[in-house]
Amino acid sequence: MTGNVVIGLSAVVMGVRGGEIATLTVRGDGPRALPAGPFDPDADRTFELALRAFVTQQTGFELGYVEQLYTFGDKGRDAPLADLGGETGPGAARVVSVGYLALTPTAGEAPAIAADWAPWSRFFPYEDWRRGRPPVIDEAIVPALLAWADSQPERQVRVRLLFALDGARWNEERVLERYELLYEAGLAPEAERDRARVRGESGEALGSRLGEPMAGDHRRILATALGRLRGKLKYRPVVFELMPATFTLSALQRTVESVSGVPLHKQNFRRMIVRTGLVEGLGRLEPDTGGRPAELFRFRREGLVSTSAPGLSLPLA
Amino acid sequence: MTGNVVIGLSAVVMGVRGGEIATLTVRGDGPRALPAGPFDPDADRTFELALRAFVTQQTGFELGYVEQLYTFGDKGRDAPLADLGGETGPGAARVVSVGYLALTPTAGEAPAIAADWAPWSRFFPYEDWRRGRPPVIDEAIVPALLAWADSQPERQVRVRLLFALDGARWNEERVLERYELLYEAGLAPEAERDRARVRGESGEALGSRLGEPMAGDHRRILATALGRLRGKLKYRPVVFELMPATFTLSALQRTVESVSGVPLHKQNFRRMIVRTGLVEGLGRLEPDTGGRPAELFRFRREGLVSTSAPGLSLPLA
DNA sequence: TCAAAAGTGTTATCCTTACACCCATGT
DNA sequence: ACATGGGTGTAAGGATAACACTTTTGA
């Protein structure tokens, strides 16, 4: 007879709060966690319905756009429901976690019940290149990773590629690979916890500068979500799921920049947006800009049926 | 106490056989099935390891490139292991299926054990646009779907968009959405089976022209795989996972066409390939072309580290 | 000699990128 | 007046798509 399996559902709920993209987290005794809950095979008809129900229950939020991310089943990577499923010893239920990405345009407004919004940069500070290459990369991450790589060429190549050394371009989509590299190298506090032994120096000392840890494998799920969203931006008009009904083009640009973590070229961004026809000017103006009032736009949802519904390109500054 | 969950793993193994892309299927009493097996929470450390093991065991094949596709958990959609997990009545284990995509360059050569290769066009004949718009679409699919859509605008829009009516462009990536539309409309034999009741006329009569059904939800997983692969071609150099060590540019083009199901422009395809630098001419010639001998090329795996590893565009003929 | 497939050249067009500049408001 | 952010024009370079054309083999 085979052992038992428990399926845990976790949601990365993203929304804009004060111009910054943030993710919904719940706070307990330990580190922050994503909204998560068990899947009940008797009661729940689909994963997505179960997810929507418990996110609303835990955080007071109604989800809009929802997309499945990945199913994590590795033994030894602390699963998000480990605390719900009992002890992690032999004979305990195996926890498989299905991660979801959800987008909501209402982030700023409604107050969450037992949750609050945390910008993703808290968990991945090195992923924010909007004001140039983050110093922490060359001051802390790269030296530690190269020490770990020792003189193994395969490891060195990964470090150079993922952290844009020697002229390699920063690829903002590879969030998960970077996190996994840090995890493998023991630079994520989660790695030590999962191995249930202390590594000492580097991990603990650097911990905070490399991003706040999360419960279970939640930071891994968050990395998956951020990478997926950064990629999807470029070929599907998903940004608009994060925007209010009307918005200025600058607000749209700030949202895209906040998600992708790179600075964009203002003029070309505008041109690109209007050329796609995804957006419609309303003639009305938004006065509180600090300068000249900006025109308000809305997303042309209908327009998508006729076109091939493309995404956005990222015209780098 | 909650009910039990069983996790089933299914693999869509794709390879080129005689110039056509095909998928590995196993034959039993009923309809064809994908290689599939249960996940043992006690013995299996990761999904991927378990998958590689039982695919080799069932089909004699070693997998190369492997990627997780999606996890299906809907109640009522016949799960692939329903026959392994006992009856589908109340109290039976809930089956959740995790689908994987695997690519192999050795499709043509090694003989499979209890499996054989089937071109995907058997299961999705309307997805092959290489010789123009398939007649079955306008002769059978569209009339049946519009009848089903009745006069519901939302359904009509889906039909028109997905099957390229009224000037909408055929989007070859949306394989899953098209299959799901046919399923919803009762035009896939699987839909009747899942409802355990007979629909009569349309479904049965059209069945074969709209593609051979598969066991469980395997055709859904295959549709997911084909759509994912068609999309991935455009932004990652995955075609080369399907090619032998050396190949001609025509063979490469035929493979891309076979996967994406659309005809490509020969001259521009060649130019695009060489421009990316993904490929290196060997100076040697392949004589058996039927015409002028063609130069042999190889994939520059090394080249990927320096570049941003792009995919291919699809220059339509 | 002809069919079949490989391979080259050229051009119009579109998109991207970059640069320079003007406009409308608040202080 | 001037700082701040909104918004427009234009031109170079590269990629795409479409065209016509030459080359090398086997039958």
The answer to whether residue B98 is domain-embedded is yes
pLDDT of residue A104 exceeding 80: yes
- Asked if pLDDT for residue A181 goes beyond 90, the answer is yes
Res. A168: pLDDT tops 50 = yes
Within this chain, do residues B101 and B187 fall inside the same structural domain, yes or no? no
| Confidence band of A88 (pLDDT split at 50, 70, 90) | very low
Q: Which of A178, A213, A248 is the last residue of a domain?
A: A213
Give residue A35's identity as a one-letter amino acid code: P
pLDDT tens readout for residues B95-136: 899 999 999 987 555 556 778 899 999 999 999 999 999 999
Residue B205's domain spans which residues? Answer: 124-213
pLDDT, one tens digit per residue, over A56-87 is 888 888 899 999 999 999 887 765 444 444 44
In-domain check, residue A207: yes
Instruction: Check whether residue B141 and residue B162 sit in a common domain.
Output: yes
- Answer yes or no: do B27 and B69 share one domain: yes
Confidence (pLDDT) at A18: 84
pTM, entire model: 0.90
Report the run of H or E that residue A285 belongs to, with start and end: strand A279-286
Domain-terminating residue out of B96, B120, B144: B120
Instruction: Give the total number of structural domains in chain A.
Output: 3
Asked which of A120, A152, A181 is the last residue of a domain, the reply is: A120
Q: Are residues A207 and A138 in the same domain?
A: yes
> Can you give the CATH number for the domain in which B16 is found?
3.90.79.10
Sort out which chain B residues have CB atoms less than 8 A from A75's CB and list them: 44-46
Average pLDDT over residues A159-170: 90
The CA distance from A10 to A137, in Å, is 29
pLDDT value of position A85? 41
Whether B145 is in a domain gets the answer: yes
Mean pLDDT of chain A: 85
Do B99 and B129 lie in a common domain? no
Residue A200 banded pLDDT, cuts 50, 70, 90: very low
B49 in the same domain as B142: no
Q: Are B250 and B293 part of one and the same domain?
A: yes
B301 touches chain A (CB under 8 A): no
Q: Which of residues 68-97 of B touch A (CB under 8 A)?
A: 68, 70-71, 73-76, 93-94, 96
In-domain check, residue A111: yes
pLDDT of residue B311: 52
**What is the model's pLDDT at position B287?**
74
What per-residue confidence (pLDDT) applies to B168? 82
Q: Is the pLDDT of residue A184 over 60?
A: yes
Residues B151 and B99 occupy one common structural domain: no
Q: What are phi and psi of A181, to 5 degrees?
A: -65, -45
Q: Is residue A230 part of a domain?
A: no
Question: Is residue B185 a part of any domain in this protein?
Answer: yes
Instruction: Specify if A94 maps to a domain.
Output: yes
B267 within a domain of the structure (yes/no): yes
Contact B42 A94 (CB under 8 A): yes
B12 and B113 fall within a common domain: yes
Residue of B nearest to A159 (CA): B305
Residue nearest to nucleotide D5 (CA to C1'): A291
Of A7, A169, A308, the CB nearest to B169: A308
pLDDT higher than 90, residue B80: no
Contact between B40 and B17 under an 8 Å Cβ cutoff? The reply is: no
Cα–Cα distance measured from residue B303 to residue B6, given in angstroms and rounded to the nearest whole number: 43
Nearest residue, CB atoms, B46 vs list A5, A68, A73: A73
What average pLDDT does the structure give for chain B? 85
Q: Chain B partners of A304 at a C-beta cutoff of 8 Å?
A: none
Cα gap A164→A157, rounded to integer Å: 10
> At B241, which CATH number?
1.10.10.10
**DSSP structural state of residue A184:** H
Whole-number Å distance between alpha carbons of A57 and A159: 41
What pLDDT does residue A84 have?
45
Q: What is the pLDDT of residues A264-285, one digit of tens each?
A: 999 999 998 998 888 999 988 8
Contacts B43 to A, Cβ<8 Å = 2
Structure-model confidence comparison of residues B191 and A253, the more confident one: A253
Instruction: Answer yes or no: do A95 and A130 share one domain.
Output: no
Ranking A281-295, B3-17, B179-193, B216-230 by mean pLDDT, the lowest is A281-295
A100 and A144 share a domain?
no
pLDDT of residue B1: 47
Same domain, A209 and A240: no
| β B246-247/B279-286 pair status | unpaired
